[in-house]
Amino acid sequence: METLQQDLLIILPELILALGAMTLLMWGVFRGDGATGELNILTLVLFALVSISVFSGAPEERLAFHGTYIADGFTRVMKLLVLTGAALAVIMSARYIATERLRRFEFPVLIVFATTGMMLMISANDLVVLYIGLELQSLALYVLAAYSRDSVRSTEAGLKYFVLGALSSGLLLYGASLIYGFSGATGFDAIGNAVASGGQNIGLTVGLVFLLAGLAFKISAVPFHMWTPDVYEGAPTPVTAFFAAAPKLAAMALVLRVLIDPLFAIAVQWQQIIVFVSIASILLGSFAAIGQTNIKRLMAYSSIANVGHMLVGLAAGTQEGVQGVIIYLAIYLAMTIGTFVCILAMRRPEGMVEDINDLSGLAQTRPAMAAALLILMFSLAGIPPMAGFFGKFYVYLAAVNAGLWPLAVIGILASVVGAYYYIRIVMIMVNGEPAAPFEQNLGFELRVILFGAALYNLAFILFAAPVIAIAGAAAQALFN
């Protein structure tokens, strides 16, 4: 007999986060905007507490609130990754917010709310919780995108994201209602049973398509990627870094959960969709990025291509493939955050610059930063022995083992195209005429993150064994 206390113990991480968010909010309201600095620190403490609470949770599967919430080995790993991404985003934002006069105490509070939503997405075991978690996350992200409210670009980004996000939520809800209608349940376990016993059903397939359309928007996979470049470009840079890291992880975890857990019996149906979405994302991400001159837009296309590569592992539909996706996510987080620290460092006395040509001659003006960016770019391009290579290696290995040869060939060829624009950045940095130098205001904490990320990418081979083992255990938890 489950009691409320047991349920509350299982959802303890989310509980701490939600209560913490409200406490931080009250703190901010009473202390005013001057408290942003101390709120940042408190937010990090909160994230650390939640991480401990997630980490100390038992790795076996536990259900709460009539099976609408699930905690297992998979959620544990994904939550720790998301918390890391969110904490890094908070650290990255601190200095930026102070210099750009965006100092309002709501910023860390919104990030904590967004993180609560993401944790719920990861732990969702029911269509209703899935949707509420998604909305909690999205709503906070809409506001964060428009956070620099006096900037036209930022408000435009927020509005665009909001309108398209609302549309995608509509698609997702439509799909969810069809799945509910044809399986008679909203809980993933019950849907799984209905799907397994009911066999193929046109209504379920249509519902699946709409559900995937809504989720594809959240991971910015083609053909639902249109918002990504504009929002990435318009949003304040630390917010963009946050967008590229944590929500992608959470949405990807959600996709994995939905497709592997309840809908595994109709894998034949969703595999076609995932293969198409994956190829389209890789191709578009690789080719459209070539013409970009703004580095934030370039990173947007890069993230579209990366999502495509991740989906290759999911398309395989095997435990090995899911393991590859989780490894890829862990590497992608480090690559993205590191690159965005470099973008944050692109500041001249007249303000932030975002053009790729502004990096010209960086190897002479700022050699250490150039070296770190070089490692990150090589890693994104997938050149061995950088981490990015291993990310791609495991997903493609799984795809080949599952017999998806054409997908693997197209993906690898397109990633060669993708390597072109990463290496172009390196060429500009190394060979270009030195442009006016950037300000030396990176700060200690950002330097630690940048060189930590670069080191992680460079020496991934040393950490590879534990990362792969953890990802394997997480994938196994999902498949059991």
Partner 1 sequence: MLQALAFYLFSGVLVISAIMVIAARNPVHSVLFLILAFFNAAGLFVLMGAEFLAMILVVVYVGAVAVLFLFVVMMLDIDFTELREGFLEYLPFGAVIAGVLLAELIVVLLAWNFAAGTTVTARPELPPGGISNTEALGRVLYTDYFFVFQLSGLVLLLAMIGAIVLTLRHREGVRRQSVARQVGRTREEAVELKKVKPGQGI
Nearest distance in Å: CB 106, partner 1: 5
What is the crossing angle of helices 444-458 and 387-401, to 10°?
40
Q: How far is CA 108 from CA 21, 84, 122, 450, in A?
A: 9, 14, 21, 21
CB 207 within 8 A of CB 273: no
Q: Select 142 or 270, whichever has its Cβ closest to partner 1.
A: 142
- Amino acid letter for position 331: I
Of residues 147 and 332, the one with the C-beta less far from partner 1:
147
- For partner 1, give the closer residue by CB, 198 or 385: 198
Minimum CB distance to partner 1, residue 157 (Å) = 13
CB of 297 to partner 1, least distance (A): 24
Pick 29 or 413: Cβ nearer partner 1: 29
The residues, any chain, with a CB within 8 Å of residue 332's CB and separated by 6 or more, are: 248, 306, 310, 391
- The distance of closest approach from Cβ of residue 465 to partner 1 in the complex, given in angstroms and rounded to an integer, is 38
CA distance 456 to 303: 19
Q: Which residues pair with 126 in a beta bridge?
A: 187
In this complex, which beta carbon is closest to partner 1, that of residue 70 or of residue 345?
A: 70
CA distance 93 to 36: 11
Distance CA 84, CA 80 (A): 6
The verdict on whether omega for the bond into residue 385 sits within 30 degrees of 0, i.e. cis, is yes
> Taking the complex as a whole, how short is the minimal distance between the CB of residue 133 and partner 1, in angstroms?
7
Nearer of residues 129 and 222 to partner 1, judged by Cβ: 129
Written in H, E and C, the secondary structure of 322-389 is HHHHHHHHHHHHHHHHHHHHHHHCCEECCEECCEHHHHCCHHHHCHHHHHHHHHHHHHHHCCCCCHHH
Between 146 and 374, CB nearer to partner 1: 146
Considering beta carbons, is residue 104 or 424 the nearer one to partner 1? 104
Which CB sits closer to partner 1, 129 or 299?
129
CB of residue 131 to partner 1, shortest distance in Å: 9
Specify the residue, 21 or 307, whose C-beta has the smaller distance to partner 1: 21
Q: Rounded CA gap, 98 and 166, in Å?
A: 31
- Give 278's Cβ-side CA count (13 Å radius): 28
- Residue holding tokens 């590497």? 331
Q: Give which of 134, 52, 43 is closest to 92, Cα–Cα.
A: 43
Smallest distance, partner 1 to C-beta of residue 149, A: 6
Query: Which residues of this chain interact with partner 1, rule CB under 8 A?
Result: 7, 11, 18, 22, 25, 64-66, 68-69, 104, 106, 109-110, 113, 116, 120, 128-129, 132-133, 135-136, 139-140, 142-143, 146-147, 149, 158
Least Å distance between CB 61 and partner 1? 17
Residue 47 CB, nearest approach to partner 1 (Å): 18
Name the DSSP letter for residue 146.
T
Q: Which residue's CB is nearer to partner 1, number 140 or number 300?
A: 140
Contact between residue 164 and residue 217 where contact means Cβ atoms under 8 Å apart: yes
Phi, psi of 325 (to 5 degrees): -60, -45
- What is each CA distance from 419 to 89, 179, 289, 294, 412, in whole angstroms? 26, 40, 11, 17, 10
Q: How far is the CB of 32 from partner 1 (least distance, A)?
A: 11
Closest distance between partner 1 and the C-beta of residue 220, in Å?
A: 21
Strand partners, 187: 126
